[in-house]
Every structure is written in structure tokens, then in C-alpha cells.
A and B are shown apart, each in its own frame.
Chain A
Amino acid sequence: MSKVASPEELSRVRYGPPKKGWMDSPAEFKEGRWCYGSKPKDHHVIGLPNPRSWSPGDEDWKLPDNWKEIFLEGMRERLDKFRTFRIFMDICVRCGACADKCHFFIGSGDPKNMPVLRAELLRSIYRGEFTNTGKILGKLAGGRKLTYEVFKELFYYFFQCTECRRCSLFCPYGIDTAEITIIGRELLNLLGCNIDWITGPVANCYRTGNHLGIQPHAYHSMLEFFCEEIEEITGILPEPSFNRKGAEILFITPSGDVFADPGTYTCMGYIMLFHYLEGLGLDLTWSTYASEGGNFGYFTSHEMAKRLNAKMYAEAERLGVKWILGGECGHMWRVCNQYMDTFWEPPKSLEIPVSPITGTRFEQAKDHKMVHICEFTADLIKHGKLNLDPSRNDIYNVTFHDSCNPARAMGLFEEPRYIINNVCNNFVDMPINTIKEQTFCCGGGSGLNTDEIMDLRMRGGFPRANAVDYVHQKHGVNLLSCICAIDRATLPPLMEYWVPEVGVSGVHELVANALVLEGEQKRTTNLRAEEFPWVEEEEEEAEEEALEVSLEAAEETAAEAAEEAVAEAAEEAAEEAAEEVAEEAGEEEAEGEK
């Protein structure tokens, strides 16, 4: 006889999700988890396929009839073209070493955010459509066919990967899951499925040179505005030069720092540093044409990355500079450090960068001829070329967020820390498994720093915020410094949600706070117009002194008045006494007469 379940067992509701394999659990498109679809006007500007109005939330994505053919043909082409891609499709043994290293998985708990599974979304199509075992055995061999639902799932999850490469660090085979995402996005692009936050900036950048679509006069005007602000704070008006032919160095930085707080303070920091160095022999120009260091084309396709990158060397050649100095940016450095000199041969006019101030030859940049501003500044400090007053940053307890790309794509760990330690008195690192090569992403890289997926960003950025919270609780950290414009845009809301007591800054904002310019007026505030703590103390002291002086004066006056009063009183008393004596004498006389 079969066992009858007790009423208690029967009435028990199971709270867990159903136990189904990942292939049988299609992606559920939830608001706040997907980005707005790309707009037809931007498709037209940059020649992306399939321009139409659409939304990832729609049932019908308006794909061309032969969409499957286009996708598979694109995949075949890339399997042939990129040896890495084919290897990455073949060799994963699903050991799971990468599984729990992704910030999106850690924060969301969605298994398809495990790097291994995210890659498996595409790998299963590779097996099912391109390998014999997969074609015959299907699911048994981990293969599946490309369907409309599967295509949508690829979109959903490839735009939930920030290409930060933390997972690749732990893969025993060295599989770079970010590269799988990059190819996955390329394939989606073949059918015109990209996001507005990427295609918009790409189209802008293609037209005007920067992601925000700002034209040269406005770019120039913004920097002038910063110079005026610097004058208010320091009494000195820097005069940066633009598009100047014959300059030795071309400076390129992400446009986000020119328009959005708190990156703007970092931008002011660059201007002040360059002004300081002019007297020491710096010959540098900004460009209103190469007005963007970032490259959202990199989040679209290799070809688009190359197209947007073209302006850097072109402008360097046009101006005839010797080398390029690059600002604090993240993915810009991955593109410049790892792709630029294979995209193009550097112009003949460029030379191996040499610091005009210290004479240091930057051998690490001999191929692409571009130096990171942290390398440049750290070298200046090392040679004692900067007059610094770190106490001006005393209101901050600083920690440093290693931005994914400078950390994992160029190994830039020590220079920013060296700088911060020289311009600030209070610095503490976050725990080792959350920094340097193991750094956690801000949750908004690779074009995912758009506001409609704030939920996704909050959970993706949670592991980073958690480590910041730890140093905030333990060491009183109140400032998170970083060297990436996307970080400076995404970390402020992340901090507001998880650790509201912590602010965000770039490294060169802190440099400029500490930098003592020749002939500057007495500074009372930092670049954010926050008063230095001693200003109030000094004011109080001055007030106290003034009070003491007035008290002394009052005391003196009072003493004089008292003396006078005493003297008057004594006189009066003497007079009275004399009168009394006289009266008494008169009375005595009268009595005597009686």
C-alpha cells in the first residue's frame, strides 16, 4: 500500500524555484534587467544593420526573415577568423572555477550569470549547429539548436556581462569569457540588436569625436569654465592649448570627465597639473577632435572599435606630436594597450615616450606610444618634481578601487596607490581578494552604465560595495578613489545605495588638491568647494584673538574707570570727612560757647 501524505505535508507550499535544467528555463525578461533597444537613427549614422524601432520587452524583435542564417554564418566566420574563439568554444571542461567569480552571479544568484553558463549559452549553439556529436546527440552532448527564444536569451545575458575579465583570472585553461561576450555581442549586432546606451554614444562619437556628441566649441567652452573655477580657488587662471600643431604631447581623456560630476574635478586636476608643469618644460595640447578616450565601439564590434579609435593616431599625426598621454579611463586602456597598435601601425612621427620633466623613458609604451597619466604623475613624484601638501586631503580617508581594465589589461596596480599615498595622509586598501587583479567590477562597465538597469547595477556592484563597506566600518573610509570615467559615473549611485557615507573621486582630483601652484592665493577649499577643516579653526582662532584683544581693552578701560571712580570716591569721602570734621568742630565750638 502506498504511503498517504499527512495533511501537514500536503499543505506545505514549496518556496523554492522548480528544479529544471538551464536549457529548459528560458530567460524571463524583467523590467530593470534589460537595457533599452538601439534607435534606428543611430543605426543609420554608423551603418548598423536592421534599423527599426524596437524594444527588448517586445514579443516581436522585427528580425529579418533569414536571421538564423545570418547569425550562424557570422558565427562560422568568427570561428574561422579568431582562433581564440574556436578554442574557447572547444576546451571548457566545465570545472566551475569561474562560476562564483562573477560579480553579477554573486550579487544576483542567477545561475546564468555564472561565466561558465553564460558562455555555455553560445557554446551549446556551437555544439548543436557546428559539431557532429552535437548535431546527432543534441542535449546529451550539451548541444541545442538556435531558436528565437535562444537568441533572445543570448541578448539578455550578454548585456548582463561587463566584460570585466575577473572570471578569466581563475580559469585553468585561460578562457577569456569576456571575449565570448564580445563575439556574442557582435553576432547580436549582425541582426541590429544592440542597446541604446551603446549605439547612441557610438553614433555621437563617430560624428563629433566624443560620446556625448559635444562639438568642438562646447568642449573648449567647458574647459574654459573649469579654468575659471580653478582661478576662483587658486587665484591662477590656467590657459591650456587646443589643437596646437607642433606640441610635444597630445592629451586624450574620456569626455565623461568634461561634463559629469565627479569626473569634472578630475578634469580640473589635469588642467592644474599641466599648468604647474608648463614652467618645468611641459609642451602639451588638448584636442577638440580626439575629444574622447573611451570607445563604446568596443562594445559593438571589433570593426567599430577600430573605426572610433582611428582619431587618436590621426590627430597625433596631424598635430605632429611625439607621443600621447592618456587620462584616467578604463576600457580606453584596454583598447589602447591591447588593440591599438594592431589596429594600426603608429604614425612615423611618434617616438618612444620620454617625460620632458624627468627624462624617464617609458619603455612599456614603446609599441603604442601612449602613457597612462598615473605612470606619468607617479614618475614626477618619484623624482620630487611636485610640491605637494597632502594635508589638504585630510578630510578624506581614502581607499582605491582598481578599475577592471587598467588592472587586468595593463597591470596598473602600484602607480595609483603610490600617487595617493603621496597626496593624501590617510589611505587604506580593501581586502586582497577584492582588489588589484582580483578587483570587483563597478557593475556598469562595457556600456551597461545606463539608468534603466539600476537594479542590475546595484546587484552587480554589490560585491564591490560590500568591500567598501568593510573598510568604511573598520577604518572610517569616506572616499572611494578610482581611475575610470565609467567608475566615476557608476560608483556614486552604488555607494548611495549600499554605503551612503562614502563619496567617489578620481586620483588626479586628489593630486590637484595637494598640488601647491607657484604664486597661488591662500587656498581655503578643495576643488569641490569644500572648506579645509583648518579654515574654520583659523577663523575661530582669529575670532578668539580679536575677542581677547577687545577684552583686554575693555579691562584696561574698566580699570581706568575704576581707578577714576575710586579717586573720585576718595575725594568725595575726603571732602565729606572734612565737612563732617568742620561741622563737628563747629558744634563743639557752639557747645563750648554755651
Chain B
Amino acid sequence: MALKQLLEENKSVILSRWFDTILETYPVDTQHFLRSKKNQFDNPVARRISDGIEGIFSQILNDDEEKDVSPFLDKVIRIRAVQDFAPSRAVAFMFDLKRLVREVLGKAIRELQLSEELGRFEEAIDKMGLLALDIYMKCREEIYELRVNEVKRSVSRLIERANKICGIPGKEGDPEVCSTDNLT
């Protein structure tokens, strides 16, 4: 597959442009920080984005049928799901890849007449973009679940105690978060 070879040869250029494009979605002052700090603990956001897109790109080039891009998408989206982005902006980086590949490899693709392969490649990216949206939704749902669990946990022992006094058995198999259903 000639396109795959082109992508592999230009991997570092594409990844670097992709990383820059993602950083450009942050305010200018923040971009400077995200680019300059290299320590993974001082600058975890940039590190995860960088690791995430590298993983996604490797999975795109991977022919293995068992390949799984989700953990790498999760790395990037889990962060963007709690930052100041609308859902469309949070996952747009996947679709940006199509534009970047055309910018970097457009000429070569035309010369080598790889438009058909490019079509298939872009279709695969679209699918990953949709998967990204699923992951975004999963993260958001987790946030709401965390809120509910926290409210329950904050009074769990009081309810457990109240139930014990009233002789109401607790919910089986749920020792940590005591049920409030029993009180209603």
C-alpha cells in the first residue's frame, strides 16, 4: 500500500503538525507553556496528547485486525472532556488529521494517483472520529456518575446507621455506597 508507506515516511512531520494543531486550540499564553515544558509531571497534558496521537497514528498504520485505537483516543479525549471545549471542539482533532495529511502529502498523492487509497484512509479516520465521540460521551457520563456517587458516599455511614436502628437491611453487594432507597 503506497499511501501507507508515504504516511510512515512522513510520520514525524505529520505528528508534529498534528500536535501543533491541537495545541492551537488552547489560548496563546497556554500554548507556550504546553510546548516548552518537557517534564511529564510538570506538563502532563502535552505529554498525554503527544503519546495519544502517536498511538492513534500507529494504529492507523497497523494492519492487524485486532487493533484497538480506543485507549489512545481515551488518553486525549479524557482530558479534553473536562476542559473548556464544546463536544465538537473536543473531538475535532481527529478530523483535522485528514486536512493535515492532504497538506503534507497532497502533491505526492496526486502524482502517485493514490486518491482511492486516500478515500479509504479518510473513511477510517471518520470512523475513529465517531469512536472519539463515543469516548467523549463515556467520559461525560462518568462525571455525572461520580457526582451521584459522591453525594451518596458523603452520608453513607449515617444512612447505614439509621437503617440499622430502624432494622432495615442494607442493599446487598453494595457495601461502599449505601442505598438511600430504603429511606423512601
Contact = CB atoms under 8 A, between A and B. Distances in A.
A479 B79 CA distance: 23
A333 B121 CA distance: 58
A259 B154 contact: yes
Nearest to B43: A106
Contact of B82 (A114, A222, A458): A458
Interface stretch (A121-129, A462-470, A507-515): A462-470
Given A108-B83, A455-B82, A529-B175, A497 B27 contact: no
A492 interface: yes
Interface in A445-480: 451-452, 454-456, 458-459, 462-463, 466-467, 470
B84 interface: yes
A454 B41 contact: no
A462 B175 CA distance: 28
B68 interface: no
Contacts of A459: 79, 82-83
B27 A109 contact: yes
A30 interface: yes
A105 B39 CA distance: 16
B156 interface: yes
B171 interface: no
Contact of B84 (A100, A110, A258, A467): A110
A493 B96 CA distance: 32
Interface in B19-40: 21, 24-30, 33-34, 37, 39-40
A493 B42 contact: no
Nearest to B21: A15
A258 B175 CA distance: 17
Interface in B107-164: 139, 142-143, 146-147, 149-151, 153-158, 160-161, 164
B98 interface: no
Contact of A489 (B40, B45, B142, B154): B154
B161 A466 contact: no
B29 to A, nearest CB: 4
B71 interface: no
Main secondary structure of the interface of A (DSSP, over half): helix
Contacts of B42: 100, 106, 433
Contacts of B96: 15
A126 B34 CA distance: 31
A390 B106 CA distance: 64
A592 interface: no
Contact of B157 (A261, A451, A452, A454): A261
Contacts of B153: 260-261, 489, 492
A225 interface: yes
Interface string A1-33: 000000000000001110100100000001011
Nearest to B164: A225
Contacts of B66: none
A470 B157 CA distance: 32
B84 A16 contact: no
B146 A493 contact: yes
B44 interface: yes
A107 B41 CA distance: 11
Nearest to A256: B154
A497 B139 CA distance: 8
- Counting chain A CB atoms within 10 Å of each CB, which of B27, B83, B142 scores highest? B27
Contacts of B147: 451-452, 454
B176 interface: yes
A498 B175 CA distance: 23
A142 interface: no
Interface in A102-144: 105-111, 114
B160 to A, nearest CB: 8
Contact of B79 (A100, A258, A462): A462
A272 to B, nearest CB: 17
Interface in A256-278: 258-261, 264
Contact of A466 (B41, B83, B157, B158): B41
Contacts of A64: none
B17 interface: no
A33 B25 CA distance: 19
Contacts of B28: 16-17, 19
Contacts of B142: 496-497
A221 B161 contact: yes
A50 interface: no
Contact of A109 (B30, B37, B156, B176): B30
Contacts of A433: 39, 41-42
A458 to B, nearest CB: 4
B146 to A, nearest CB: 4
Contact of A99 (B24, B33, B34): B33
Contacts of B39: 433
A259 B26 contact: no
A205 to B, nearest CB: 16
B11 interface: no
Nearest to A114: B29
A431 interface: yes
A434 interface: yes
B45 A260 contact: no
Contacts of A222: 157-158, 161
Contact of A15 (B25, B43, B83): B25
- Counting chain B CB atoms within 10 Å of each CB, which of A109, A260, A463, A470 scores highest? A109
Nearest to B143: A454
B78 A107 contact: no
B168 to A, nearest CB: 15
Interface in A23-51: 30, 32-33
Given A259-B155, A498-B78, A458 B143 contact: yes
B24 A16 contact: yes
Contact of B154 (A30, A260, A497): A260
Contact of A106 (B44, B139, B161): B44
Contacts of A451: 146-147, 150-151
B7 interface: no
Nearest to B149: A493
Interface in A408-449: 431, 433-434
A460 to B, nearest CB: 9
26 contacts: A15-B25, A22-B29, A30-B84, A100-B42, A106-B45, A107-B45, A108-B84, A109-B26, A109-B30, A109-B34, A109-B83, A111-B30, A114-B29, A260-B155, A431-B41, A433-B42, A455-B82, A455-B143, A458-B143, A459-B82, A466-B40, A466-B44, A492-B153, A493-B150, A496-B149, A529-B175
Given A100-B37, A222-B157, 7 more contacts: A15-B21, A16-B28, A100-B43, A109-B84, A433-B42, A451-B150, A470-B41
